[in-house]
Amino acid sequence: MLRHRLSTLLAVIYAAALFGFIFLPVAVLVLFSFQDGRLPVPPFNGFSLQWYEAIFADRKLMAALLNSLIVATASSAVACLLGFMAAYGFARYKLPGSVLQRGLLIAPMTVSYLIIALGLLTVLNTLGIGLSLWTVGIGHVVINLPLCFAIIYSSMGDHHVNIERAARDLGASDWKVMLLVTAPMLMPSILASFFLSVTFSWDEFIIAFLLSRFNVTLPVEIWSLLRSGLNPKTNAIGSVVFLASIALLAILELTLFRKKNTP
Amino acid sequence: MTAAVSIRTVSRLFHQFTALNEVSLEIAAGEFIVLLGPSGCGKTTLLSILGGFLLPSSGQVLIADKDMTFVPPARRPTTTMFQDYALFPHMCLRDNVGFGLRMRGMARAERYEKAFGFLDLVGLKASSAKKPHELSGGQRQRVALARALAVDPDVLLLDEPLGALDLKLRRQMQDELKAIQKRVGTTFVHVTHDQEEAMAIADRIVVMNAGRIEDVGAPAEIYMRPKSLFSAGFMGEVNFLDGKAIARDDDDVLVETPLGRLALPATAFTAGDARAGQKLSLVIRPEHFRGPAETAGSPGSLSLGEARITSSAFFGTHQRCHVAPVSSPSLSLVVHMPQTAQLADGVCVPLAVQAADIVALPAVTEA
């Protein structure tokens, strides 16, 4: 009995330590975004919303936030579309060197963002394309496409083949089969890859930093804020970013969870 | 709508494997045809070729006298009902059934009305707003049938549609399929490996084996007058008795068997006349053996001597016995005896068969 209690206690302590380790930094960040004072460090002087006021009044920050939203949704939509079409091609047609090609598609996942950014920078320079939010978007498509492809490809089972065949048998063209049958059937995994892409793009710094110039995304703007020293404002904007990611994750979980209950 | 189908010397090879070997078949408009055979016999390959999902390696497929050999599925006057139903999981029943009409550009209101009509035909009108996952297996099956019929095909192809249903539901669906086919008049080509199902629904059964057609005919004909040993064996329990044609005697052929010399009418030779000296297999169904009470000197009855019962079991409609003929104790025959017969192991019973019930086929020569 005692042993049992002891092991339960240890398990609880372990779990607490685990979650503490993961979430304590975030909790501290959020806590000091409410700091009534100029420094986001202990002691906590009291509760204040002044820093949130400050960030929402900061036009540069708000512009960066909007830029981030645009880049995240647009690049994720493109990555999803390309990933879906690639997955459809590989799952439904016999292509030469299929295994190799699929490997090549997924390979960028293993390359560091820094290398991808440098590579893209060189290419863009050579082509004479100026840096802008577009180039950041291209970079984010490059990093998210392998992910979208992998998720969607893995959910394209053979059990869908007969359903597509039935659609074709009833007179649907290849495009209609894809649009009206395949894509709706794969919607859970398409949504999952879309939302994951959005969160990755939303948080991404290195590519956004190296491939942008005047219009920047939120992480880049935060970084330039940080250069002028610690400030509860950075905590506040960090909390907003965190909240947005959590909200997206919640949507993702809910949509996937709902789909799982009704296969 | 309905149309005739003509299959002309169609072959299909998969690498080195011959799935179909010069198959020819004429199907009349409005006929209910069942392709019957064990798995791997080529029946599903033939159905896929009719549906346009596979191209034949050689040969020709005509539907309503038009060459359809290389026409893709979407442009054929056929629809297929798949074994796993292949319903669209994200659409309600109404949209499932109306899908083919939508692809044909029919306006929404008209399309829904037609879809309701076909859902009504299969008794699911009240569920039209449900999704497929809310239905039972039998209901899904009906939706698949309604969806396939909604586009008014000339030929409906059914790929083991009842395979996933339990036995009771399967028998019920067989009756419904048959009734619906009579109502719509569409040519049905149905694939199954269940010979009872085949007999229950088919106008004509096509027995297939190893890529060839073994036998074609009405269920009673296939069962009672099989034209091949495979067909005889596949259509239910059967006894094969070795024999040898020895002489002709007027209209009869004398056949030497381990159970004595039998005079068989020429009609017994369903696969063509026998030459003298030819080795034969006599096909006798267990229910064709007459019980002790019926054998007494009826015309056309052939006595096979006495046989000792080695085991018996009660089957409801009959008693199924294994017997060893006294004249050839190493043989074992399966015999159906009347329900009420008093039987015990070791007892000897007289065996007799009506000459008209026996089918004699050329024996398979040992390779």
Nearest to A168 among B74, B89, B133 (CB): B74
Nearest to A263 among B100, B104, B133 (CB): B133
> Which residues of B are less than 8 Å from A176 in CB distance?
103
Q: Is B214 helix (H, G, I), strand (E, B) or coil?
A: strand
> Which residues of A are less than 8 Å from B86 in CB distance?
162-163, 165-166
Q: Flag if A169 and B103 touch (Cβ within 8 Å).
A: no
For residue B312, give how far its alpha carbon lies from the nearest alpha carbon of chain A (Å). 46
Q: Flag if A262 and B53 touch (Cβ within 8 Å).
A: no
Q: Which helix (H) or strand (E) holds A71?
A: helix A59-92
B341 touches chain A (CB under 8 A): no
Domains in chain B (CATH in brackets) are 5-233 (3.40.50.300), 237-362 (2.40.50.140)
Q: Is residue A111 part of a domain?
A: yes
B276: CB partners within 8 A, 6+ apart? B245, B246, B247, B248
Q: Nearest residue of B to residue A259 by CA position?
A: B90
Q: Is residue A32 part of a domain?
A: no
Domain count, chain A: 1
For residue B237, what are its two tokens?
Answer: 């329990």
* Segments in chain B below pLDDT 50: 366-367
B88 touches chain A (CB under 8 A): yes
Q: Nearest residue of A to residue B105 by CA position?
A: A171
DSSP state of B366: P
Query: Per-residue pLDDT tens for A89-114?
Result: 888 888 888 889 888 888 888 888 89
Residue scoring higher pLDDT (A229 or B111): B111
Q: Is residue A171 part of a domain?
A: yes
Q: Is residue A13 part of a domain?
A: no
DSSP state of A178: I
Query: Per-residue pLDDT tens for A6-32?
Result: 899 999 999 999 999 988 888 887 877
pLDDT at B363: 82
pLDDT at A261: 47
Query: Per-residue pLDDT tens for A119-130?
Result: 988 988 888 887
Is the Cα dihedral B33, B37, B40, B42 positive or negative? negative
pLDDT at B292: 56
Interface confidence (ipTM) of the complex: 0.77
Q: Which domain holds residue A181?
A: 58-261
> Which residues of B are less than 8 Å from A163 in CB distance?
86-89
Q: Is residue A257 part of a domain?
A: yes
Q: Is residue A93 part of a domain?
A: yes
Q: Is residue A27 part of a domain?
A: no
pTM of the model: 0.77
Is the Cα dihedral A34, A36, A39, A42 positive or negative? negative
pLDDT at B156: 92
**CATH number of the CATH domain containing A231:** 1.10.3720.10
For residue B153, give how far its alpha carbon lies from the nearest alpha carbon of chain A (Å). 10
A172 touches chain B (CB under 8 A): yes
Q: Is residue A217 part of a domain?
A: yes
For residue A184, give how far its alpha carbon lies from the nearest alpha carbon of chain B (Å). 7
- The answer to whether the beta carbons of residues A246 and A96 sit under 8 Å apart is no
With bands split at pLDDT 50, 70 and 90, how would you rate the model's confidence at A76? very high
